[in-house]
Structure 1
């Protein structure tokens, strides 16, 4: 029916009329007159409607338009019903536990068996396994708006940022909590800077903070003496007996504490069952060593004219050669620069007539790397494995990715040791665990993948036209064995997987293997009709191989298997859906345990879940444990597989060590040689038979 209607809408309605009067034909076919095309005329039936007088002609057009639109709606509903019939409704799991809060949390962080939630005047510490509150710190002047936590062996480094932009370092060791230092707190509020972004190395040896203030932006890098912190916390007399003590940092209560410089390595492990029995206390009497300042990095200066008069003067007075061929360290005369700007303004005058907007401050994205091959390491510097040694950074609108060595002292000159130029400005960068892999995303949709440990470029891939990267997340490499995703229990090299969420809400899986180059596969297409189903955020689940959490704008949370591009299940939590504001999910996924936590708004009593009154709602954090659900329990417990179980199948040959792969290659080569020898013997025997037959035929002649 729909196809018939469509054909009628596309083709004009024609009828054939004879010019003369119609006659009854003779019963004998021989007497029938021959048809002449000139005797017939074609008329459009719609022409008769067009000849109608007003207002009937307008009424006819409106009726036809209404009919066409109604038919389109019917076809759309029919197609939607067909799609819904093919849908498989996933299993929806409720949360395992709920944490009631007084107000919206100021960020969440997970480290080891602890959950840290920012709140009024401080933060709270919970047991991750049973969601019981262990300790509450409410000694700050203002509320905490974001919080980070990093493992330092068996201890934890806690880094909250308050509403004033002040970042502090707290150290949790066993049953004691110490304040190490407020990095950017100033007595003069007019000189107060704001922490915009921060990053702590995965090993906990270094921390970098991006500050903004007085119309300027800069990056400060500190070395964290975690081993000294551990010694000072275990032996308080060492810290108390110090002669020179730094000025104490005051909070808004007399119980405030100061802490300083340190590096840590492991104390006795704490079992999850004993965490709830801990009685954490805030130690204001003990001052730990502060972090050591390493360097301060500012954005690259814009290109400007130079006072040098000749190239010889440039070579004579410039000592550094860094940045050659990368667009850095240009030396252009003022006259040449003025001529260049004049030509530019003349060419684009019509586009520059409007008022100039003030350019925003340049922001930085930075990462810690653990390989010495990226920069030149001095001979007298000893670097240990697993310790960050390089800082990579790129600034807003810059084509270059700068690399700074961390093996410096504050007296050393702050210069980058290496620079990687890109063809387009870098808009995003991401690293995998312990920075083994690096992804650089340019503003033209090009994705560059690097293996930093081996110094190997996987390749460059361009996202589909119209797709621009919104976020990128690396996945731990997994295999599909007997229909289940598993992690190999041996080191895997030259294999990378990452999921890319684009600005049009489409989701892609990018993979690269050895020298084959990266490939892209669409996991979720961009929504066309139902925009509320658009993906807002994506988060990998380390405890489940090949699984990612998908947070949609309609407040739904689902778990996807990227190998099959299928939704495994969904998770629900009571949520007050405010239609006026888009949903920005606040969540955290545990890197070591099979669980994640999600912030939601719980309505009071019989309040409808669509209410917009904040007085009738309560903020909560919902806890989802994958092992509590039968569908995911086996996956989380059987997530690894040994090399023996995989055997030497060709499907997994690329995952084996180099020695095994060489052995398999030689064995296959020997097998091919034996097969070729057999084929050669067969061909030789046939050739001999044919030659004997030809000789006999020749003798007969």
Structure 2
């Protein structure tokens, strides 16, 4: 029986129709009539679809398109799953210890043997090795969103920043915690400033805060009287009665009326010493963003030269001799040339942000005359602002009354996007908007080179590696300091990862470690952290929540670190973690996704900090314990020979020359013997003639 007109089979398959009435053919093939091919007509399936009335024709096309698209997705997923099975999976290591918290940890930092975790209404202190909670300071009405910890040797500076942008400076010494000051807190809420970024110099002598208020932004620099603090905590001036002492010992979790439960394992030795008043930081400088370049008010070039007496701030572009009419003409030409791009609505310009570093004395940054030089004491503040070409140097040996002018300016060809100072404060990398990286050796006062990122790659973050060598197939740290050599890892905005190597005697090189993910977008790298305990190793955090350990020398994945099955990273694109600089371990925050949706209150959400120790994993045990090798063991290594100081390299060259003298003498004798035999041969030939 023929299918009804407009059915699915008629629309999808070619149909041959015959002119005239249809007849039932005979079951025997020999009785079939010989039809002429001209009597058959071919009808296009698309015409059959078009013959459907609306809206059925549109529904039919949508269903077919959806079916085809679904089939393509199924095939792509099947191909991906087959490829995933053939991929080599790294060894997975799980955490050794879990610390369950009653509040959500927003940030954390490590110093010496202590872990500082910022969370709800304050911060807490834990022991790094046994995960015991030592103290809880919760006296705020808002959460702590970031915490900065600086190691001063026997003391520790703690600087938590809360949600309102207020910075409080704490001093931690032995068993006492002291509140120095809420630096930018104001009694008038209408004049309250917000701290965007904070840095403390190595050694704790200076601090800098990037503050914002009502659209204005500036940088405040303070001198910290750390010499006075140690005396004030050792010999307190105020007496404390017995009743107040008892109250302070009980005041471990904030106010007395707090209902937060005490941890089971609590070390009762640490106490908050609110009775001891420490010396306050002294503001020495206020730096504002560079002013836009406008027309000059100078009447002659002599006035412009007089303004920059002593070459202070030379290169900033401020003290120029360009008239306002010239700027107007240039602006008119620009608008006329790019009118089609400039027309339309303009978004408001973002507030200019600052990146700043405390720099040690060097050949580039000498210590001012008459100032006593102290090892590890910062003398200059390096600053650059977003969408600006210049890197400024400001001397820290000044008072608030002194005029704030930069002592030096490094102009770049393009606006500076990112920068990074090495932990030893010897190397500086400036990443410009055009993808060019400028590598500087501040200690020696020379540039190590300029490298360019691949096309359409822009720098997102820079991470310095402690200089390492590959000796007998293993990454090792040379014993002692290495000068004029640096290595860093650059994470780009397209999630690609690059290794940059530079030295004073070789050209700078850049190599690709991880390509931009095209097929597996969830594998895009979001964060990178160098592991100082393992030479040439970095931790990478991806969008899919995976944490991988990479060997940058071989560009290979060594192993993977995973949380327990019931936990995951709450925000893989912004993980909360910290890597210890003094111990072979790192800490990672994990959340319980199955219980987050059912939790009624934020404090009921289970959160944990997981502890990973590299030395406890079989694959990494030898790497972390045998990471340093004496210089005498690798004297023949070409890279290590170049890393030696100039005097040692010259001595090594002369020693090799003396050792080769005997070889050269033997070769010389062989050469004279050959000449003598050849001369005798020629003499005999002449006699024969």
- TM over 0.5, shorter chain: yes
Q: Where does residue 18 of structure 2 map in the other structure? A: none
Find the aligned partners of 1:147 and 1:498 in 2 and give their Cα distance. 25
Structure 1: 5+ residue runs without aligned partners? 1-50, 241-252, 256-274
Q: Where does residue 651 of structure 2 map in the other structure? A: 663
Q: Where does residue 590 of structure 2 map in the other structure? A: 600
Q: Where does residue 390 of structure 2 map in the other structure? A: 400
Alignment partner of 2:606: what SS?
strand
Instruction: Give per-residue Cα distances to partners, 1:493-515, cap 9 Å, x unaligned.
Output: 12111111111111111112332
1:474 aligns with 2:464: yes
Q: Where does residue 29 of structure 2 map in the other structure? A: none
Give how far 1:398 is off: 0.9
1:127 aligns with 2:117: no
Give how far 1:125 is off: 0.8
Q: Where does residue 352 of structure 1 map in the other structure? A: 342
Of residues 181-190 and 405-414 in structure 1, the stretch that sits farther from structure 2 once superposed is 405-414
Find the aligned partners of 1:550 and 1:556 in 2 and give their Cα distance. 8
Q: Are the equivalent residues in 1 in contact too, given 2:123–2:137 (CA < 8 A)?
A: yes
**Cα pair distance change 1:518/1:77, threshold 3 Å:** farther
Q: Are the equivalent residues in 2 in contact too, given 1:232–1:238 (CA < 8 A)?
A: no
**Cα pair distance change 1:650/1:72, threshold 3 Å:** same
Give how far 1:80 is off: 7.2
Find the aligned partners of 2:86 and 2:597 in 1 and give their Cα distance. 28
Q: Are the equivalent residues in 2 in contact too, given 1:121–1:140 (CA < 8 A)?
A: yes
Of residues 340-349 and 170-179 in structure 1, the stretch that sits farther from structure 2 once superposed is 340-349
Q: Are the equivalent residues in 2 in contact too, given 1:577–1:610 (CA < 8 A)?
A: no
Q: Where does residue 618 of structure 1 map in the other structure? A: 606
**Cα pair distance change 1:689/1:440, threshold 3 Å:** same
Instruction: Give per-residue Cα distances to partners, 1:40-72, cap 9 Å, x unaligned.
Output: xxxxxxxxxxx975237999xx99xx9999899
Give how far 1:110 is off: 0.9
Alignment partner of 2:467: what SS?
coil
Instruction: Give per-residue Cα distances to partners, 1:365-387, cap 9 Å, x unaligned.
Output: 01111124333543211121211
Q: Where does residue 527 of structure 1 map in the other structure? A: 517
Give how far 1:138 is off: 1.2
Q: Where does residue 379 of structure 1 map in the other structure? A: 369
1:156 aligns with 2:156: yes
Q: Where does residue 56 of structure 2 map in the other structure? A: none
Give how far 1:621 is off: 1.5
Q: Where does residue 564 of structure 1 map in the other structure? A: 554
Give how far 1:609 is off: 9.5
Give how far 1:459 is off: 0.3
1:170 aligns with 2:170: yes
Matches for 1:513-552 after TM superposition, within 5 Å: 513-552=503-542
Q: Where does residue 615 of structure 2 map in the other structure? A: 627
Alignment partner of 1:444: what SS?
coil
Find the aligned partners of 1:144 and 1:69 in 2 and give their Cα distance. 47
Alignment partner of 1:486: what SS?
strand
**Cα pair distance change 1:542/1:123, threshold 3 Å:** same
Q: Are the equivalent residues in 1 in contact too, given 2:545–2:572 (CA < 8 A)?
A: no
**Cα pair distance change 1:67/1:305, threshold 3 Å:** closer
Question: TM-score normalized by structure 2?
Answer: 0.82
**Cα pair distance change 1:663/1:336, threshold 3 Å:** closer
Q: Where does residue 295 of structure 1 map in the other structure? A: 285
**Cα pair distance change 1:107/1:579, threshold 3 Å:** closer
Instruction: Give per-residue Cα distances to partners, 1:589-636, cap 9 Å, x unaligned.
Output: 111111111111125xxx489999987841222111222222223322
Give how far 1:456 is off: 2.1
Matches for 1:237-636 after TM superposition, within 5 Å: 237=237, 277=267, 279-315=269-305, 319=309, 321-325=311-315, 327-574=317-564, 583-603=573-593, 607=594, 617-636=605-624
Give how far 1:470 is off: 1.2
Q: Where does residue 109 of structure 1 map in the other structure? A: 109
**Cα pair distance change 1:696/1:374, threshold 3 Å:** closer
Alignment partner of 1:385: what SS?
coil
**Cα pair distance change 1:613/1:330, threshold 3 Å:** farther
1:641 aligns with 2:629: yes
Q: Where does residue 24 of structure 2 map in the other structure? A: none
Alignment partner of 2:339: what SS?
coil
Give how far 1:123 is off: 0.7
Q: Are the equivalent residues in 2 in contact too, given 1:510–1:518 (CA < 8 A)?
A: yes
Alignment partner of 1:438: what SS?
strand
Q: Are the equivalent residues in 1 in contact too, given 2:501–2:510 (CA < 8 A)?
A: yes
Find the aligned partners of 1:127 and 1:580 in 2 and give their Cα distance. 24
Find the aligned partners of 1:239 and 1:444 in 2 and give their Cα distance. 61
Alignment partner of 1:434: what SS?
coil
**Cα pair distance change 1:315/1:456, threshold 3 Å:** closer
Q: Are the equivalent residues in 1 in contact too, given 2:106–2:576 (CA < 8 A)?
A: no
Find the aligned partners of 1:359 and 1:464 in 2 and give their Cα distance. 28
Give how far 1:445 is off: 1.1
Q: Are the equivalent residues in 2 in contact too, given 1:175–1:278 (CA < 8 A)?
A: no
Q: Are the equivalent residues in 1 in contact too, given 2:304–2:320 (CA < 8 A)?
A: no
Of residues 352-361 and 184-193 in structure 1, the stretch that sits farther from structure 2 once superposed is 352-361
Find the aligned partners of 1:82 and 1:138 in 2 and give their Cα distance. 51
Q: Are the equivalent residues in 1 in contact too, given 2:145–2:162 (CA < 8 A)?
A: yes
Instruction: Give per-residue Cα distances to partners, 1:256-312, cap 9 Å, x unaligned.
Output: xxxxxxxxxxxxxxxxxxx97452111111110001211011111001123333334
Q: Are the equivalent residues in 1 in contact too, given 2:517–2:523 (CA < 8 A)?
A: yes
Find the aligned partners of 1:651 and 1:506 in 2 and give their Cα distance. 27
Q: Where does residue 199 of structure 2 map in the other structure? A: 199
Find the aligned partners of 1:490 and 1:315 in 2 and give their Cα distance. 47
Alignment partner of 2:405: what SS?
coil
Alignment partner of 2:227: what SS?
helix
Find the aligned partners of 1:557 and 1:667 in 2 and give their Cα distance. 48
Matches for 1:205-216 after TM superposition, within 5 Å: 205-216=205-216
Q: Are the equivalent residues in 2 in contact too, given 1:90–1:567 (CA < 8 A)?
A: yes
**Cα pair distance change 1:700/1:324, threshold 3 Å:** same
**Cα pair distance change 1:684/1:334, threshold 3 Å:** same
Find the aligned partners of 2:614 and 2:368 in 1 and give their Cα distance. 48
**Cα pair distance change 1:689/1:455, threshold 3 Å:** same
**Cα pair distance change 1:578/1:345, threshold 3 Å:** farther
**Cα pair distance change 1:73/1:254, threshold 3 Å:** closer
Find the aligned partners of 1:586 and 1:58 in 2 and give their Cα distance. 61
Structure 2: 5+ residue runs without aligned partners? 1-40, 50-60, 241-253, 257-264
Q: Where does residue 227 of structure 1 map in the other structure? A: 227
Find the aligned partners of 2:492 and 2:116 in 1 and give their Cα distance. 30
- What is the root-mean-square deviation in Å for CA atoms of aligned residues? 3.4
Give how far 1:418 is off: 0.7
Question: TM-score normalized by structure 1?
Answer: 0.80
Find the aligned partners of 2:373 and 2:393 in 1 and give their Cα distance. 17
Instruction: Give per-residue Cα distances to partners, 1:162-206, cap 9 Å, x unaligned.
Output: 111011100111111111011111111111110000111121111
**Cα pair distance change 1:237/1:71, threshold 3 Å:** closer
Alignment partner of 1:667: what SS?
helix
Give how far 1:324 is off: 3.6
Q: Are the equivalent residues in 2 in contact too, given 1:372–1:390 (CA < 8 A)?
A: no
**Cα pair distance change 1:553/1:614, threshold 3 Å:** farther
